[in-house]
Structure 1
Amino acid sequence: MRLSQSTLALGTLFLPGAAAWGSLGHITVAYIASNFVKDSTTTYFQGILQNNTEHYLAGVATWADSIRYTKWGRFSKNFHFIDAKDTPPDYCGVDFERDCKEDGCVVSSIQNYTSQLLDAELFPWRRSQAAKFVIHFVGDIHQPLHVENVAMGGNGIHVKWESSELNLHHVWDSSIAEKMLGGIHRKPYVAGYAWAANLTEQIKTGKYESVSQSWADGISLDNPINTAMGWANESNAVVCTHVFPEGPKAIVGQELAGDYYEKAAPVIEIQVAKAGYRLATWLDLIADKLSEAVVDEL
């Protein structure tokens, strides 16, 4: 896959600073999804998002982060995560009734905005907004610290990263992925496009070919909560195995750019790959159901 001129131009766009999975992760997830969706799905979402280029998903992948701290978008601040009240590394697990906040969480938000996308009677701008949320939240739920309560998903744990002091959440959002790609030099669209091309190849014919089919197991529009909870618990398991392998206290102040990075990097890669593949499956199901509804009305 070659980088088009429009992709290179996207690398100069302003991106919000506070982005889950970092801008790079979300953009990569979106590009992977655009590589796997059906042609009919591409046509539908290009229409609803009013963008007929190859960047129609990636171009809105960080929108939900860009509005969450605005006066208008403040309502969505809790929609990006679900706080699993578990005790890693002894026990990891997400419980919807226990962990989803009263005003919503990433699991309920995937359900909510999927239902809005499927409501053909909603104004197009409402369905466009719902699409932007779904694209983003499917990415969020695959980031392990978006499904963990300890220290506000690692935001309250300070660690070392090469010459910097960062919080653990930022390391998992951005630092590890950026190091994997040799540094992105503030061009996340270019880096995300290239990373997505590589992961797409790995899913189709490479190291993920044999396992990728199972990534769509259990995905059902009939029960979005169960689907999203499956993703959440899978991501949350990583908290015990790789985020806090020796417990939250043991990681405080530690340098993470060495051995910790070497163990975490493959996990982040596969989580991004899964998120993109599953997002494509989810968008295909939505577009197919809408198409069936139109046929039924004829």
Structure 2
Amino acid sequence: MSKRLFFLVVTLLFGTFTAGTQAWDHPAHMTTAAIAFIEIEKANPELADALELVFMKHPDTSPFWVAAGDTRGRERSRRMFIEGARWADDTKGTIHDRPTWHTARWPIMTDDAPPEAKAAAEGREGRPAGQAIEALVMNYAMLSSAETNNSERASALTWLLHLVGDIHQPLHVSDQYSKAFPAGNGAGTLEYVMDPVNGIPMPLHLLWDSNIYRSTELDDIDKVAINLVKKFPRDKYPELIGLEGPGDFERWARESYQVAVDFAYGYGLETVMDPDKDLDSDKAVKKMVAYILYGKPAVDDAPAVPAEYWEKLQTTAQRRITLAGYRIAALVLAAADQINAERSFTGIALDTLD
């Protein structure tokens, strides 16, 4: 298999089998939703209570009922909301899956990137690879319209919860091109480092996804969310301005891209590439599936993550996760206001016809 084809196969594999690993991992997505619910609950308690009614109309309701357990009222609404943030990952491989929606990747060019890579990047004319931004624009429009049916609104809400988190992950909005990776590094999935938490090789992208949050237990999610809101209150974010329109989503993604440019590949970070780059596609598939399902890495050893890098990664991830939670809340609150305004206007218009 050629090097370029190997990169393509591996990138497609990570997109197909682990759409969620091209974003934050389950715990981080759930934490963004937990933070958002705290904000919604403070701003509009009635809306917080009513959100469960949205998820009950979802085209794939089972995960939400499982997440709710035997709870009632606002707690059931909260659990369904938190489940909604991870649903887009859990649905991978089903009819609901939208693999290309999970990324919006702009190129990072190293000095030794080959001319053809630079030409390909220039040919995109500033457009990222992946449709996360377009998907956010569409799903927010569906969520906030009074004319959207209940099932479509529920689906739109789950995608919004997930994709806002996605675009706040720096390696989710970038691909690095170099002599070693002329077709891109698969958003960091093709470079391995030693995981500081469990001591086994891990793709750099997954290290960013997982950071230190590895538990999906709701008690753990709640503790993390509460601590992050205390550590990063809203007034710590000068970029947390009012919603301006569809262009917000690209602006937020470009914030993450700048983090990737400024930091993700610096601070003395060293990585190792899968040495079996010439495997045929069938064996490449088996290796990737082995890692995804069983945690068996493609390499036996990888460079340690520098302490300074690891510390900064954790702080950066915490800050981005919290910001995503605040922005999710703002979008849900704004969507509810728009729906109410449209319904009020429609009622007035109908009255004039009597």
Tell me the TM-score range normalised by the shorter chain: 0.7 to 0.9
Which residue is equivalent to 1:73?
Answer: 96
Contact 1:113-1:133 within 8 A present in 2 as well: yes
Which residue is equivalent to 2:48?
Answer: 42
- Between the aligned partners of 1:126 and 1:22, the Cα distance in structure 2 is 25
Which residue is equivalent to 1:261?
Answer: 310
CA drift of 1:23 comes to: 0.7
Which residue is equivalent to 1:290?
Answer: 339
What are the equivalent positions in structure 2 for 1:129-278 lying under 5 Å apart? 129-150=155-176, 151-162=185-196, 163-174=199-210, 176-178=211-213, 184=214, 186-203=215-232, 208-212=233-237, 214-217=238-241, 219-220=243-244, 223-224=245-246, 226-245=247-266, 250-252=270-272, 253-256=302-305, 258-278=307-327
Distance 1:44 1:157, change over 3 A: same
Query: What does the per-residue CA deviation read over 1:107-147, in whole Å, with 9 as the maximum and x for residues that have no partner?
Result: 11110111111233332111101100000001111011110
Secondary structure of 2:243 counterpart: coil
Structure 1 length as normaliser, TM-score? 0.78
Which residue is equivalent to 2:108?
Answer: 86
Which residue is equivalent to 2:35?
Answer: 32
CA drift of 1:46 comes to: 2.7
In structure 2, runs of 5+ residues without a counterpart are 1-17, 57-67, 113-120, 177-184, 273-301, 348-354
- Between the aligned partners of 2:30 and 2:320, the Cα distance in structure 1 is 14
Secondary structure of 2:201 counterpart: strand
Contact 1:138-1:279 within 8 A present in 2 as well: yes
Q: Which amino acid aligns with 1:195?
A: V
CA drift of 1:47 comes to: 2.1
- Between the aligned partners of 2:243 and 2:257, the Cα distance in structure 1 is 18
CA drift of 1:246 comes to: 5.8
CA drift of 1:18 comes to: 4.8
Contact 2:26-2:216 within 8 A present in 1 as well: no
In structure 1, runs of 5+ residues without a counterpart are 1-15, 179-183
- Between the aligned partners of 1:21 and 1:89, the Cα distance in structure 2 is 29
- Between the aligned partners of 2:152 and 2:54, the Cα distance in structure 1 is 10
Secondary structure of 1:153 counterpart: helix
Distance 1:123 1:17, change over 3 A: closer
- Between the aligned partners of 2:206 and 2:192, the Cα distance in structure 1 is 10
Identity of aligned residues (%): 23
CA drift of 1:296 comes to: 1.2
Contact 1:218-1:227 within 8 A present in 2 as well: no
- Between the aligned partners of 1:265 and 1:138, the Cα distance in structure 2 is 19
- Between the aligned partners of 1:173 and 1:188, the Cα distance in structure 2 is 17
CA drift of 1:30 comes to: 0.1
The reply to whether residue 58 of structure 1 matches residue 61 of structure 2 is no
Which residue is equivalent to 1:11?
Answer: none
Q: Please, which of 151, 157, 160 is the counterpart of residue 125 of structure 1?
A: 151
- Between the aligned partners of 1:173 and 1:237, the Cα distance in structure 2 is 17
Query: What does the per-residue CA deviation read over 1:73-117, in whole Å, with 9 as the maximum and x for residues that have no partner?
Result: 34x101011110232699xx9x9963344xx51111110111111
- Between the aligned partners of 2:111 and 2:52, the Cα distance in structure 1 is 43
Which residue is equivalent to 2:141?
Answer: 115
CA drift of 1:153 comes to: 0.8
Q: Which amino acid aligns with 1:157?
A: E
- Between the aligned partners of 2:307 and 2:38, the Cα distance in structure 1 is 33
Contact 1:89-1:244 within 8 A present in 2 as well: no
Query: What does the per-residue CA deviation read over 1:210-248, in whole Å, with 9 as the maximum and x for residues that have no partner?
Result: 323x3431522xx31x10111111111111222111698
Distance 1:66 1:275, change over 3 A: same
Structure 2 length as normaliser, TM-score? 0.67
Q: Which amino acid aligns with 1:116?
A: M
- Report how many aligned residue pairs link the two structures: 260
